[in-house]
Amino acid sequence: MLKTAVDGAFSAEEWLEFVRANNFGQLISTMGGDTPPLITPLHFTLGDDNVIEMHLHRNNPMLASLAVNPEATLAVIGAHVYIPTTWNGDEGDDPAWSAPTSYYAAVQVRGETEIVSRPDEMAALLNRQMRHLQPEGGYHEVVADSSPFGRMLVAIRGVRLKVRSVDAKFKFGGNRSGAHRQRVARHLAERDGVLDREAMREVLRRDDLHAAQTS
């Protein structure tokens, strides 16, 4: 994706933390030729081994696409907000002539996938996902047997994506002054719309990182 030097991740830990915290994205696959890409929205989990795990219904056409071409991309987007003209100008400028912009975090993870179909491996994958997505418990373990969860395993397939490359962009005013970013953060807190608080935290977090790099 197009980005400037100030929009990139400061470290691998930054994109890893973002992907683990925002565990919903779109899996993208293509069989090539004239076949259009397939895009499937889903929850996923990222393990310490840099392997992303997810599961799909056995009839999802994504599985046929991955069987032909195991290469896939997982796209994750968060903290996306509109920054109006009246916020984005420099001090002393006519705000009506200021250009609006978008703030957002976006990570695209690419790698080779493996389809998981063995019941015992599927059960282990689902248990790892459940422990991450529902850490408070309140569910039975998935076991490949005649239990209700075990009987459901026939309807799904697991997908494991080994992270090979990452393209990350954190667009939160990195090309502007610290004072500008602080002002935008205050506006986001005051507007308090959908994702504004999340974007405000990203602005302030990235502002601290910018300050640390330039000090």
Give the chain's domain count.
1
Could you read off the pLDDT of 39-88 as tens digits, one per residue? 999 999 999 889 999 999 999 999 999 999 999 999 999 999 999 999 99
Nearest to 82 by CA among 161, 194, 159, 212: 194
Question: Residue 152: CA atoms inside 13 Å, Cβ hemisphere, count?
Answer: 12
- Residue-wise DSSP of 57-98: ETT-HHHHHHHH--EEEEEEEEEEEEE-HHHHSPTTS-GGGS
For the whole model, what pTM was predicted?
0.92
- Rounded to the nearest 10°, the torsion over CA 210, 207, 77, 159 is 60
* Mean per-residue pLDDT over the chain, rounded: 94
Strand 45-46 and strand 38-43: pairing?
A: unpaired
For residue 6, what pLDDT band results from cuts at 50, 70 and 90?
very high
Kindly state the average pLDDT of the residues 152-167.
96
Q: Enter the tokens of residue 35.
A: 């076949």
What domain range is 26 assigned to? 5-214
Which CATH number fits the domain that encloses residue 74?
A: 2.30.110.10
